[in-house]
Structure 1
Amino acid sequence: MTERLLLLDTASLYFRAYFGSPEILAPDGTNVNAVRGLLGYIAQLAEQYRPSHLVCCWDDDWRPQWRVDLLPTYKAHRVVAEVAGAPDVEEVPDPLEAQVPVIREVLAAFGIAVVGAPGYEADDVIGTLATNAGMPVDIVTGDRDLFQLVHDAQGVRVLYVGRGVGRHERVDEAWVVAKYGVRADQYADFATLRGDASDGLPGVKGVGDKTAAVLLQKYGDLAGVLAAVDDPASDLGPGPRAKIREAAGYLAVAPRVVAVARDIDLPRTGLELPRSPADPDTLAGLVERWSLSSPVERLTGVLASLSAG
């Protein structure tokens, strides 16, 4: 089998499964639609892309303090309540929160690698594992920030599930240029200038997608844009010049917040996709307790077919 690494933005997928699927109850009345949906997504993607390696990348810290220290608005709107001295708690519907430990148990019983890192988000785990992976990499996410990792020469692309897993788009360098007018290696600067309300990134006031793209097309990167602002002889218009100057404080810190980490100390072994469940007895118990027969049978069958093929 040709080696291929499939990196899953796990929370992005189980949130999508929870909100996009009808309620499905286990015998004790617990909703298990996110568990079932995530297993279905893994089976679908593994069957379609036939990876040799697969990692469920995890948010050990969904809102790292070092990013908040740089930009206090970062994901602030998602915090349930701020308690002095306590870690931030993400707003997650109770019926979904109850399913997360079940997801972890089922993945462990299958033997599917789950990788997180203290003080980092799943995006950073993805960025690190995708860098110098030594094989083609597909990143499955609904997060546009990860477009910054797309790199044709290194075989890194994003399977973007913004319209659904079944209708995902294969994002390569040409796709990014066609969609946004910037190169993938410019995307982080593009996102910094434009901002992103969903992450609490204010961006430069008055600079949207079109203006951000034009600035980067003309000046190359954020450093080039800032140099043009400070150069009286540059052809940067007075409007954009003033807006960027007003956002100087934000632009001094935002690039470090937006940039996905690529150098965390993470394991590079034990990431192979299992060809059969690692702990069949435990998995059988989970199937019975949580009514998971159909998705577990499907994923088990897909794993067996990969082994045969």
Structure 2
Amino acid sequence: MIVARPGPARRGGPARAALSHPSGKLPGVSKPLVLLDAASLYFRAFYALPESMTAPDGTPVNAVRGFVDTLTRVITERGAGRLVACLDADWRPGFRVAALPSYKAHRVAAGAADGEEDVPDTLTPQVPIILEVLGAVGIATAEAAGYEADDVIGTLAARERTDPVEVVTGDRDLFQVVRDEPTPVRVLYVGRGWAKAELLGPAELAAKYALPVAGAGAAYAGMAVLRGDPSDGLPGVAGIGEKTAAKLIGEFGSLDAVLAAVHDGKDRKLTTRARTALLNAQDYLAAAPTVVNVATDAPLTVDGAD
């Protein structure tokens, strides 16, 4: 069982009692397992705060400051029973690149023979500091060789059968993990900052994108395939934007059902224009789900857990 210790508490207080309990939470109280999309959070912190924030020795600490601020808000406001920071062991996994070579290709550092990510020079030295902070306050970290943090989160969320799960991220890709059963999984989306954070479950996700509530997570993933994501090198289907993608998934219920209608050629809900666009994108549509869908069976390595 993963038990993260979010930090010191007042002597005898409820947080200390929870941490001393074998389950990592107070008896009779269901507190969420909170999963942090660490790289997403520190990248966003880096770009949100000025690089003029430095340590006395001149080391930039803007990403550290922003990440710690978010971590503090999570600890004080989300009532986590367990807390895990999920990391990228591989930012551009080979199985995704094999399916779609354009995946994150534009983010590979120029001249990098080993495919390293193009990371700002002033962010690179801050990542070890962030990991030290996590270790110092007793927060577990998890990763999986050959997989991204999204896959670690997808796997931990899929496995959880005891407590509700909250995923804290600035990445919409993780909307697909929401569910109600067997244990609730919600996404706390902080892509626009903590003050504008959105807590999304299946109902909220369905309302936001006009998707079916049943299977809203999978429906979102299907919509994401159709829409594409230039920031990740996913072209999407030419001529189909977010609204049309959401409409297609909303009308047919799933990406598989949309593609079945394309090949059947008889469903009048599918316009000639949409059918033509989808037929022209068959190779992409065959490959993209491998890239978009998060893994739920990644081989996890957890550090700092009891």
TM-score strictly above 0.5: yes
Structure 1 residue 261 and structure 2 residue 295: aligned?
A: yes
Is 1:138 the counterpart of 2:166 in the alignment?
yes
Determine if the alignment matches structure 1 residue 128 to structure 2 residue 155.
yes
Identify which of 203, 214, 222 aligns with 1:174.
203
Residue 233 of structure 1 and its aligned partner are, at CA, apart by: 2.3
Q: Map of 1:97-246 to 2, 5 A cutoff?
A: 97-134=124-161, 135-153=163-181, 154-182=183-211, 183-235=216-268, 236-246=270-280
User: Which secondary structure does the structure 1 equivalent of 2:84 belong to?
Assistant: strand
2:159 aligned partner, one-letter code: N
Give 2:115's aligned residue: 88
Give the C-alpha shift of residue 87 in structure 1: 2.6
Alignment partner, residue 50 of structure 1: 79
Distance 2:305 2:296 in 1: 17
Q: Deviations over 1:42-100 (max 9, x none)?
A: 111111011111111001101111101100111111111254xx431112111111111
Letter aligned with residue 297 of structure 2: D
Q: Is the 8 A contact 2:35 2:85 kept in 1?
A: yes
| AA aligned opposite 2:298 | I
Q: 1:123-174 CA deviation, whole Å, 9 max, x = no partner? A: 0000001113121110001111111101123210000002102321111112
The answer on 1:17 being equivalent to 2:45 is yes
**TM-score between the two structures when normalised by the length of structure 2:** 0.84
Write the distance in 1 (CA, Å) between the matches of 2:114 and 2:219.
33
Which structure ranks higher in relative contact order (CA pairs < 8 Å, sequence separation ≥ 6)? 1
> What code does the residue aligned with 1:14 have?
Y
8 Å contact kept, 1:127–1:260? yes
1:250 corresponds to which residue? 284
**Residue from 59, 68, 93 that aligns with 1:30:** 59
How far off its partner does 1:269 sit?
A: 9.0
| Alpha-carbon separation, structure 2, partners of 1:232 and 1:259 | 27
Kept in 2: contact 1:5–1:54 (CA 8 A): yes
C-alpha displacement at 1:36, in angstroms? 2.2
Structure 2 gaps, min length 5: 1-25
Q: CA deviation at 1:245?
A: 0.5
Structure 1 moving runs of 4+ over 6 Å? none
What CA distance in whole angstroms lies between the structure 2 residues aligned with 1:24 and 1:112?
25
RMSD: 1.6
Query: How many aligned residue pairs are there?
Result: 270
Counterpart of 2:88 (choices 55, 59, 68) is 59
Deviation string 1:262-289 (CA, Å, 9 cap, x unpaired) is 11132579647xxxxxxxxxxxxxxxxx
CA distance in 1, matches of 2:272, 2:75: 52
Q: Which deviations, in whole Å up to 9, do the C-alpha atoms of 1:14-62 show, x marking residues without a partner?
A: 1122111233221211111211221221111111011111111001101
Contact 2:138 2:304 in 1 (8 A): no
**Shift of the alpha carbon at 1:109?**
2.3
- Name the CA distance, whole Å, in 1 between partners of 2:265 and 2:206: 30
Which amino acid letter does the alignment assign opposite residue 266 of structure 1?
A: L
Q: Which amino acid letter does the alignment assign opposite residue 8 of structure 1?
A: L
Task: Give the % identical residues.
Answer: 53
Between the aligned partners of 1:122 and 1:69, the Cα distance in structure 2 is: 19
Contact 2:34/2:166 (<8 A) preserved = yes
- Unmatched segments (≥5 aa) in structure 1: 273-309
Q: CA deviation at 1:258?
A: 0.4
More helix by percentage: 1
Secondary structure of 1:7's aligned partner: strand
- Contact 1:54/1:271 (CA < 8 Å) preserved in 2? no
Task: Write the distance in 2 (CA, Å) between the matches of 1:270 and 1:94.
Answer: 28
Q: Is the 8 A contact 1:53 1:271 kept in 2?
A: no
For each residue in 1:230-255, what CA deviation from the matched residue of structure 2 results, as whole angstroms up to 9, or x when unmatched?
Answer: 11322222111110000000001101
Q: Which secondary structure state, in structure 2, belongs to the residue aligned with residue 227 of structure 1?
A: helix
Q: CA separation in 1, counterparts of 2:288 and 2:75?
A: 36
Letter in 2 for 1:97: T
